[in-house]
Each structure stands twice: as C-alpha cells, then as structure tokens.
Structure 1
Amino acid sequence: MAGDAAFAPAAAAHRPLRNISEVRHFFRTNDVPVYFFGATPFNLLGLDRWVRNFTYVTYYDAWDGAHPRVFTPRYKPYIEFESGEEINNWLLENAEVRALMSARLAPGQRPKVAMVFFDEETERICEELGYDLILPSAQLRNHLDSKLVTTRLGEEVGVPSVPNTLATVKDWDGLCAAAEAAGLGTDLVVQTAYGDSGKTTFFIATESDWRKHRKEIVGNEVKVMKRINNRPVAVEAVLTQCGTVVGPFMSELTGHAKLTPYRGGWCGNEMYPEVLTGDVRARATAMVRRLGDRLGAEGYRGFFEVDVLVDIDTDEAYLGELNPRISGASSITNVTSGAYADVPLFIFHLLEYLDVDFDLDVDEINERWQELAAVDLWSQMIIKEVSPAVERILTAAPTGQYYLDPSGTLVFRRAALDWHQLQDEHEAFFLRIYGPGDYRWKGADLGVLVTKGRLQTEQGAGPSKLTIRAKHLIDSIRAQYTGVALMPAPVAPPTDVVKGSAPAAVADVAGSAPDAAGSTG
C-alpha cells in the first residue's frame, strides 16, 4: 500500500495534461476529496490505488471497519429503502457522513461526489451541502436511459439495433400485427422503455407467453425485436472533450439459474481476448464512438456503458442498450492491462469533471488499449439468492482472498482490500454483501466473486454454460451461508444491490436496521 495514491504528496499547480504519464501524476497527487457513494463500493473498488483522496461511502461494510478508504455510518435505523437513489440520498444527509466530509476540506474546497444512481433530490441535497455531483444531470440521464430513446439516437448515427419496431400494443393480435408489419417473425423479444437486469425483457413466441407478461406491456410504448441467436457483449466508454475513450469488450453472464432467478438477468462478466476480434471488434468500437458523439450532442459527458449484441449466425453487431452511468462491468474494466499500463477508464471521467485542463490523443489511446486487451483475462459473478425462502443469515462467506487447495477445496486465505492482487485461476476474491444478521430472499445479492480465467463455455450455437470451475466456486461460497427461516415468509421487494438499487429491507421482519456486514452501472 505504501506506493498507492492514497499516500502520495499533495498536488502542485500544473499546465494542461498532454499524456498518460502526466495524468497519472495528477491523480496520485490529487488534493481534492472525491467520494463514491453506494450501497457497496463494488463498482469502483480499487480506484483508490490511483486516485489520492478517494473514499467510498457505503451503507454496507464488507470489511467491518478494516478497509481504510471505506466509510460506513455506525448508526443506521431501520428503513425500508425502495431504490438505490434513496439509499444514496440517506447517506448524503447522514450526520456522520457530513462530519467526515467537512473535516477533510481545505478552505474554499468543494468535495466531488460520484455514484451509480441518483435523482433530482440527490442534486438538491448536493447543492444545499456544497458538494459537486460530478455526473450528467438526472433529467438527461433519465431521458437517455430509455431503450426507446437509445434506439432512435443510434439509428440517427448508423448504430443499428436488432431488427425492431417501436409500438404501443393493446392485445396479442396487436403485437402480432406490429411484428408482421416490421418483418420480425413470430419469435419475439419485447422490452419496456426502462428496466433492470433483464427483469423487463420478455420472450414471447406464443399467446401463452403474452398472457404471462401482458400487464407490463399493454398501454406502454415498447421495443419489439426479432429474436436472434446472439452473444451479449458489454463495453464501457467515457465521452471527453477530446473524444470517446472505449474500454475493453466483455461477454456477459446472463440468466444462469445457479446465479440469478431472473431469466435473462445480468449476473456477471468475462473479459478475454476472443470476446470480439478483427472486423467485428473494429465495427463495434466505431459504433460506440459514434454513439458517444451523439450523446455529446445531447449534452452528455462522462462515463457510459453499452450492450452490444453480436448475431452468431451473421456476425452482425447491434446496439443492445445504453446505460448512461457507471455500471456493474466497471469493476473489471478498472483492473485491465490498459488500466495498469495507463490509468483506469474512470480516470477519464474524473478528468472531465475536475478543474484540470487536458489535451489527449484519444485515437492513440483507443488503439493501444485494443492491443493491451488481447492478453487480459478476468471474470466476475454476481451471486444472488435463488431459493424462495426468506432467512435471517447466521453465517456468511467473509470478504477476502480465497484459493483452491490441492484437493480442490475453496479455502479462505486472508483478508484483502480488493481483487487487484489475484494472480491465476486458482485464486478468487469474494466481496460479501449480506452477512450475519442480514436477511436473504429470492433475488437478493449475496456477494460478488472475482477471479482470473473464464467462467463460461460456449455450446456451439446454443447458450453459454457455466464451467465446472464456476459451478464449484458458486457452490463453495453458498455452502458458507447458513440461516434461520422466517415464518410466515414475507414477500420481499426486488433488489439489486450490486447494480445500484436498494438493499430493500424485508418488510416487518426485523425491528432494527440491517447489520453493516455486507458490501453496485
């Protein structure tokens, strides 16, 4: 840790930054407090290695106070949070958090605040408290978050979506008619404008499928797509005044029953050299840069994530959706070879929002990062509770570094601050989210496991499957969780701590706040 940015001397005045070396020096000597707020520090964990004065303010503390850059309020009364915005707003107004931030300010300084999800109330709180929210406006992000808006903007600049039509349908016959008019066939994917981890993506091929999902579709303008045999690929990028910097491409883990109860739900990422190669990679990169330029025309700047769908049968690359925010893939983006050779991708976002002049050759950076991505290999899995029972957790897997011993058993090796020290496939890092004293229910995020090596295997034209090693890792982590069932079991609201939505409390089960025992584009 002695060489990390947290312990570097304060910055001096500087001229415009013109290369990566100067950018690295600027952030290693940064004297402006920068905070990442969230239920967990997952999305940007490890960024404090590059950025001096970077702190995580979180509702859950996976290290029980041992991480020097993670701050969690000690007093947390019982609250039923409904969203990630609510939990971040609560943290911003918390007296302990405000005292921490005030104590670190030099005269005339304004702390910089970043987070995954926020709203107009977040902006109001930051304005009142004198904090700079270093993100595009909530109004703009909400506008761009719509899958319908994204589809239209992409089409304007030659970034096509899977063959589709945007329509408002009232019944099964109306859906069939809209699909027939657009030449989409009868095997369809229907998406509402806003969604979360696949929960509002519906696969409809029969009238029976329609009846199952019609309440979410009827009366709303939706995106009706032809169902294709595709590989979902995620890529993050940052729109700066010098152009769009594109990060590495990652495959997605989606819908694996051992990880998530949601069909089509996101549950992790893999980064490996063959995610996209050759012409497909070049076309996808150009698509992301064109989309970034179009977002700039809307007034957007900074970090965003794009889902690219690659048709396995034709090698066509399509725009899947846009997430105008830090995403769940950021954790992998920030440990790439490009990050260590240059800087993590999020650094370019900070450059755009801090008071610093820079003039960087974005074309050269993108070209070099594509070469560096050809040798990197990382994976992560978001482990959700998949059983319908609601339990109070008695024991949980601790946060830290694990290894597979000679017998193949997953063994806890030591406490660790992040996953940056992992060396090979025999090691893994687990970030606990819910721990002893908390509650687990169907869909709750138990934790995140990060490792080197791949966790999926392709099955020809069929869907990817988890590797034997991946399933062994999942089972080994789950085996460390024990709990006491609650009777009668209350119905818990949907939750996705990792991606930023609230760790919603289980209604009327506990008379006190969840423990600060756990850890989210």
Structure 2
Amino acid sequence: MGAGKKQKSKNPTADLQGDLNAKALQSDRSASSKRKRLNGISDIRRFFHRNTEPIYFISATNFNLLGMDEWIRNFNFLSAIDCFDGKHPHVYVPPEIPHEPFESIEDINNYLLSHPDLLKLLRDRGANGKNGKAVFLMFDEKTEALCKKAGLEVCFPPAALRTKIDDKVETTRIAERAGVKCVPNVLAKVDSYEMLRKVSKKLGEDLVIQTAFGDSGHTTYFISNEKEFKKYEKDIVAAPEVKVMKRINCRGSALEACVTRHGTIVGPLMTELVGFPELTPYKGGWCGNEVFAGAFQSKTRKEARNAAIAFGDELKKLGYRGYFEIDFLTDLDTGKVYLGECNPRITGASSMTNLSAFAHADAPLFVFHLLEWMGVDYDLDVEALNTRWADPDNIDSWSQLVIKHTKDSVAQITEAPPSGIWELSDSKQIRYVRPQTHRRTVHTENRAFWLRIAGKGDYFYEGADLGILVSPGRFMDDDFKLTDRAKAWIKGIRSQYQVTPIAAADSMIEAHQHEFKLL
C-alpha cells in the first residue's frame, strides 16, 4: 500500500459491518422530519452527537482527523493502512486486491472507492442510493466521479477549485486581492539564469523560487548563484510560471481556519518544525508543529488572524467554503508577517487544532467545516468564537513530531512499534504502555501518543513516513532547536524498528512505488 503495505486487513469486513450496521436508537431520531435551526454551540454539538447519517474519512490513514469519531456520531475511517492492527473500532481497511502502483493519495482513495468490499459496506449502510457523505485529505475529479457512482456526497468544494487555490502562484494573487502581504516577490516565466536575474533585480542576490505545486520542501529552491540555479534548472524552466521571492531570515508558522456562511473561523497560530535532519531528509520539509500560548507576540498573532480572515473572505468570493490552512513567514529582522502559502484542505496539523482544549471547549474546527454540508440552518457568533480561541488562557501546550526515514537506503520492516501510549524513562529509554486511538489519555510530558504509519512488512526508503509522535509541552526550545526530550523520543522510536535489507533491484522498485506524501 502507500507505505509498502503487503499485509491483509486485520479488521475484516464482517466485523466492521457488524459494528457499523447497528440500528440507531429511536431516541436518536427527531420526532419531526423537519430539522430545526441550530442556535449556537450547544445545539451544534448535540446535532452531531445525534447524527444518524454515515460520514466517512477516506484516506491512506486516519491521522488527519483523529478523534473526530468521538464528536460526530456515525463517523468512520476507510483507510488503506491499518495503523491500529484492527483495534480501532471505527477504522476499516479492506483486504488488499491487485492495483496499479500508487503515485499519490488520490490514487489510494480511488482504489478504495473502487474496492468491492468497501462498496458493499457503503450500500449496506445507505438507503435509496444515498450512502452518506465523504471527506478527504486529497481528491481529484476521478474521486468525485467515483463518489457519485457510490452514492456519496463529497463534503468539500470541487477538486478543480481546490487545485486552483493550491497553486502557489494563484495563492499570491488571491492574497494581493485580499490585501494580505506576501514576501516581496515577482511572478514570472524563468527560462534561464539570466532571465532570473533580470526579473528579480529588486529582490537581491539571495532568492527563493517556488513552482506552482509541491509540498514539504520538494519544490522550493534556494538560489544565490548560477551553480545553485543549474542544480534545479530543469524543474524551474519547465514551469509555465514561478514565484521568485526575496530570501528573508524568517520563522515559519501555520494556522488553520474555516470559511462558513457566518464568516471565517480561525484557530491559533502554531509553530512549525521544518527541515530537522533528525526527522526528515528534505531541506525545508515540514516535520511537526507546536501549539503553545507564548509562541508569538500578541501583535504577530493578531496580524496572522486578521490575514486569515481576509484571505478566507476572498476565498468565499471564489465559491470556496470549509477548511483551509495558511503558512505564514515572520521576518525575524523586521517583525513583519507574510503569507507563505495556502492549503485548501485539512492538513497534517489538523489533529493539533481539532484536539486542543480551546476547540473542545466549543467544538473542533472540522465540525464547523462539516456543518456547511449537513443541510441544516444554524446561528453562530463567529466573532465571539474567534475571540475565545485567540485568548492565550484557552490554549494548552502540545507538540507533534513527524518522523521519516532519513537515510538513502531501503529495507523491509520486520518489527515496528504499535500505535498507542508510550513512556520515556529518566534513562531516556521508551516503553509501550497501552493501546490508544489518540492523545486524550496523555497527561504528562514523559508520555506520548504514537501513531504508527510504517509497520511490519512495509519498507524503509528515503522520506518514508514512519509515524507521528504527540506529547504535551514543547519539542523545541526558545531558540527553536530540538529539545533533548524530542531527540530522546526520536531515538527511542527508531530503536523499536527492526529491518531486513533487500536486494538492490527490489529496493528501487519499492522506493519508486511509494515516493509521495501520505500525511
């Protein structure tokens, strides 16, 4: 599968269908067929706790929406990888059947939506050809067609609109219309080093170039001279248009938000872990986040929040609604806050937003996204909600590490650490405590929730996602370097893996088949 999966599902169709097909209690059904208008947070929470319509998160894993099955009744995960070895009550992984090599998450989703066992499950739980609602991390036009055929409503804006907004060049233009500042830049076709210097004359010698699409450092190029340009020339010249930016001394941050009919809801500003060689082989590659109240000055938080609201309002004009994430860059020399890029989707930071204390006091941000597709009218004071979520007193401190295989080597995994709660001892050794489905029972900094992605039978290859570690407190110090605790956790998790080298020819095949981002 997406991480070299060769195993059969440990969560059989029959077992899951028995759980999912349980009849709803009569008390869960409204006495009237007409839905009442929801008046504020309490009604919205109750509405989802009593939901009887099947809702599915379809993706490689359930990582991005961990815990949402506890907020939304009849919410289930249809996955390609079983991170929980059959122990999660709401995760279904169909038995693997022959398929073309996966080259993207979209390919995985389209495979799942074509799987006969999964389609039967959808039909058995549906009625009159309406088999529920579907949400995704990534999807394309083929996914939309397969959902229509399967009787599923996609609870996201159209794939074509998402692709347009996902374009880093287009994002810059949207930001300009919204009055949101970007790092000084020029948008241009670059066909040579001479052309690059001509169009970027006002941006200085040290430049950053981005092509329209790409993630986690794969399509961001740092160029100061012709030698560095030559290294990436093929990709840059092939692009119809690139974004050329002045290189600034900056720190990255991320913020998730949601466009609703009542305005844009904004989560807190998170720090980003980027490019740490202990975690990722990619320079500039995202490898984690922190949420804590003192991460940024009040002025910076306010600027980012206002920018997100303005950007969300501009997205709404384009017909977009629902979840999105913005990456910000704070210039450490001037203090200015710039928009980096926009991801029109849930992201790898979504569980950090949705499982935080500020969200649980009201409702997770994703709940407000889904509400836009539930066919019910509602009232919501977005300004009051944003004010509460911006209050540092309402923000608890959590961090996550995304741990990848960082070496240029390939091997097959023979032993892997199971998902659940782990503990770090005073001697920096880790031990498995118990199974768990997300971080809710982690209360101290010497414990963490581990979500395993790469398991027994999968493969190590450069950039392979091994899993995600989540713990209270910070994983970076005040100088934004990894703490000793973070390094001990990384070393401890890696020590739990055992592998067997495989033949060079097989290595090339496996590495090539799975070179894409799962999270």
Q: Quick check: TM above 0.5?
A: yes
- Which amino acid in 1 is paired with 2:222? F
* Maintained 8 Å contact 2:252/2:329: yes
2:102–2:108 CA contact under 8 A, matched in 1: yes
Whether the 8 Å contact between 1:11 and 1:26 is mirrored in structure 2 is no
Q: How does 1:48-63 map to 2 (within 5 A)?
A: 48-63=69-84
Q: Is the 8 A contact 2:356 2:395 kept in 1?
A: no
Q: Does 1:286 align with 2:312?
A: no
Q: Structure 2 vs 1, CA of residues 372 and 57 (structure 1 numbering), >3 Å: closer, same or farther?
A: farther
The normalised TM-score by structure 1 is 0.91
The aligned counterpart of 1:326 is: 346
Q: 2:122 aligns with which of 101, 109, 112?
A: 101
Question: What is the one-letter code of the residue matched to 1:481?
Answer: Y
Q: 1:262 to 1:424 in 2, by over 3 A?
A: same
Supply the distance in 2 between the matched residues of 1:406 and 1:219 (Cα, whole angstroms).
53
Residue identity matched to 1:474: I
Of 95-104 and 300-309, more deviation after overlay is shown by 95-104
Q: 1:350 to 1:154 in 2, by over 3 A?
A: same
* CA 1:494–1:151: 2 relative to 1, 3 Å: farther
Structure 2: distance between partners of 1:253 and 1:190: 21
- Aligned residue-pair number: 489
Which residue number corresponds to residue 505 of structure 1? none
Alpha-carbon distance between aligned partners in 2 of 1:284 and 1:320, rounded to the nearest angstrom: 11
Query: After the TM superposition, which parts of structure 1 deviate over 4 Å for at least 4 consecutive aligned residues?
Result: 6-9, 106-109, 494-497
Per the TM alignment, residue 486 of structure 1 is displaced from its structure 2 partner at its CA by 1.4
User: Are 1:29 and 2:47 matched, yes or no?
Assistant: no
Shift of the 494–30 alpha-carbon distance from structure 1 to 2, 3 Å rule, reads same
Matched, 1:401 2:421: yes
What's the counterpart of residue 134 of structure 2? 113
Deviation of 1:352 (Å):
0.5
Q: Judging changes above 3 Å, is the alpha-carbon distance between structure 1 residues 56 and 373 closer, same or farther for their aligned structure 2 residues? A: farther
Q: How does 1:328-407 map to 2 (within 5 A)?
A: 328-371=348-391, 374-407=394-427
Q: 1:86 to 1:178 in 2, by over 3 A?
A: same
The answer to whether the aligner puts 1:128 opposite 2:149 as a matched pair is: yes
Q: Is residue 274 from structure 1 mapped to residue 262 from structure 2 by the alignment?
A: no
Aligned partner of residue 412 in structure 1, secondary structure: strand
Q: In structure 2, which of residues 191, 201, 214 is the aligned counterpart of residue 170 of structure 1?
A: 191
1:213 aligns with 2:224: no
Aligned-residue Cα RMSD (Å) equals 1.7
Structure 1 match to 2:7 = none
Rounded to whole Å, the distance in 1 between the matches of 2:29 and 2:472 is 35
Q: Do the aligned partners of 2:260 and 2:322 also contact (CA within 8 Å) in 1?
A: yes
Select which of 221, 236, 248 maps to 2:268: 248
SS in 2 for 1:142: helix
Helix, strand or coil at the partner of 1:465:
coil
Task: Determine the structure 2 residue equivalent to 1:222.
Answer: 242
Q: CA deviation at 1:107?
A: 4.9
* Structure 1 Cα separation of the partners of residues 255 and 185 of structure 2: 22
Question: In 2, Cα distance between the equivalents of 1:469 and 1:106?
Answer: 51
Q: Indicate the SS of the match to 2:333.
A: coil
Q: Is the 8 A contact 1:337 1:373 kept in 2?
A: no
Query: C-alpha displacement at 1:373, in angstroms?
Result: 6.2
Aligned equivalent of 1:490: 508
1:282/1:161 Cα in 2 relative to 1: closer, same or farther (>3 Å)? same
Q: Which amino acid aligns with 1:48?
A: D
Structure 2 counterpart of 1:147, which letter?
K
Structure 1 position 496, deviation (Å)? 6.8
Please report how far the alpha carbon of residue 78 of structure 1 lies from its aligned counterpart in structure 2 after TM superposition: 5.8
From 253, 257, 261, give the equivalent of 1:233. Answer: 253
1:91 aligned residue: 112
Aligned AA (2:198): A
Measured in 1, the distance between the counterparts of 2:469 and 2:442 equals 12
One-letter identity of the residue aligned with 1:129: A
Cα distance in 2 for residues equivalent to 1:327 and 1:481: 26
What is the match of residue 323 of structure 2? 303
Q: Provide the C-alpha distance between the structure 1 equivalents of 2:397 and 2:484, rounded to a whole number of angstroms.
A: 18
Write the distance in 2 (CA, Å) between the matches of 1:218 and 1:53: 49
CA gap of 1:313–1:364, structure 2 versus 1, over 3 A, is: same
Secondary structure of the residue aligned to 1:376 is coil
Cα distance in 2 for partners of 1:458, 1:176 equals 37
The aligned counterpart of 1:510 is none
1:446-468 deviations in Å (ceiling 9; x for gaps) = 11111111111243xxxx32111
Please give the residue correspondences for 1:401-480 in structure 2 after superposition, counting only pairs within 5 Å.
401-459=421-479, 464-480=480-496
- In the alignment, structure 1 segments of 5+ residues that lack a partner are 1-5, 501-519
CA distance in 2, matches of 1:110, 1:372: 42
Q: Which has the higher helix share?
A: 2
1:312 is displaced (CA, Å) by: 1.1
Cα deviation code 1:394-447 (max 9, x no counterpart): 111111101123433211100111112211211101111111111110011011
State the distance in 1 between where 2:422 and 2:39 align: 40
2:99 & 2:126 partners in 1: Cα distance?
Answer: 31
Task: Look up the SS of the partner of 2:487 in the other structure.
Answer: helix
How many angstroms apart in 2 are the aligned matches of 1:34 and 1:295? Answer: 25
- The equivalent residue for 2:89 is 68
* Structure 1 residue 148 displacement after superposition: 0.6
1:187 correspondence with 2:227: no
Paired amino acid for 2:383 = D
> Is 2:216 the partner of 1:197?
yes
Q: Is the 8 A contact 1:248 1:373 kept in 2?
A: no
In structure 1, C-alpha distance between the alignment counterparts of 2:361 and 2:175, rounded to whole Å? 32
Alpha-carbon contact 1:425-1:451 (below 8 Å) kept: yes
Structure-2 separation of matches of 1:322 and 1:297? 16
- Distance apart, 1:374 and its partner CA: 4.9
Judging changes above 3 Å, is the alpha-carbon distance between structure 1 residues 496 and 38 closer, same or farther for their aligned structure 2 residues? farther
- The code of the aligned residue for 1:206 comes to N
Q: Note closer, same or farther for the CA distance 1:495–1:262 as it changes in structure 2 (3 Å cut).
A: farther
Kept in 1: contact 2:398–2:473 (CA 8 A): yes
Indicate if the aligned counterparts of 1:338 and 1:373 stay in contact, CA closer than 8 A.
Answer: no
Question: Contact 2:250–2:329 at 8 Å: present in 1 too?
Answer: yes
CA contact 2:101–2:513 (8 Å) conserved in 1? no
How big is the shift at 1:47? Answer: 0.6
Deviation at 1:77, TM superposition (A): 3.2
**Secondary structure, counterpart of 2:212 in structure 1:** coil
Residue 169 (structure 2) aligned to one of 148, 151, 155: 148
Q: Which has the higher contact order (CA 8 A, sep 6+)?
A: 1
Instruction: Supply the distance in 2 between the matched residues of 1:32 and 1:373 (Cα, whole angstroms).
Output: 36
Q: Does 1:10 align with 2:10?
A: no
* 3-state SS of 2:269 partner: strand
CA distance in 2, matches of 1:109, 1:10: 20
The TM-score, its normalising length taken from structure 2, stands at 0.91
**Which moves more between the two structures, 126-135 or 276-285?**
276-285
Instruction: Tell me how far apart the structure 1 counterparts of residues 484 and 139 of structure 2 sit (CA, whole Å).
Output: 39
In structure 2, C-alpha distance between the alignment counterparts of 1:427 and 1:322, rounded to whole Å? 33
Q: What CA distance in whole angstroms lies between the structure 1 residues aligned with 2:418 and 2:387?
A: 40
Give me the whole-angstrom Cα distance separating, in 2, the residues matched to 1:264 and 1:90: 31
- Superposed CA deviations along residues 331-355 of structure 1, whole A, max 9, x for unmatched, are 1011111221011100001100111
